[in-house]
Amino acid sequence: MKFKIEIDCTPEEARDFMGLPDLTKPNGVYAETMAKAMKGVSNPEQLKDYAEQLAPMGQVGLKLFQSFVEGAGASSKRPKKPSSND
């Protein structure tokens, strides 16, 4: 048996309902800082070095993120199986 429930609400309403914190202001500060930092990047090697410094777990975190992105890209290229329940 399969149930499908659709809820129409704003992201703020969903966040309040689930009890999640509002991270709009910290995210804005982070995005602004990243944008300022990226203005000085002139080549891919410089970007890689900068990303390694920012990665939470250093090189290991960067490799993990890289493998995640590559896996997501590979899975999006696979043909989807038709579902008999739709």
Between CA 19 and CA 35 the distance in angstroms is 30
Distances (CA, A) of 34 to 4, 12, 26, 50: 39, 24, 12, 10
**pLDDT value of position 44:** 76
Query: Which pLDDT tens digit goes with each residue over 5-52?
Result: 998 999 889 888 888 888 888 888 888 877 777 777 777 777 777 776
**pLDDT value of position 31:** 81
Between CA 22 and CA 20 the distance in angstroms is 7
**pLDDT value of position 62:** 67
Provide the residue ranges of all domains of the chain, joining segments of one domain with +. 10-39, 42-77
C-alpha Rg value of the chain to the nearest Å? 19
**pLDDT value of position 56:** 61
Query: Which pLDDT tens digit goes with each residue over 58-78?
Result: 667 667 767 776 776 665 555
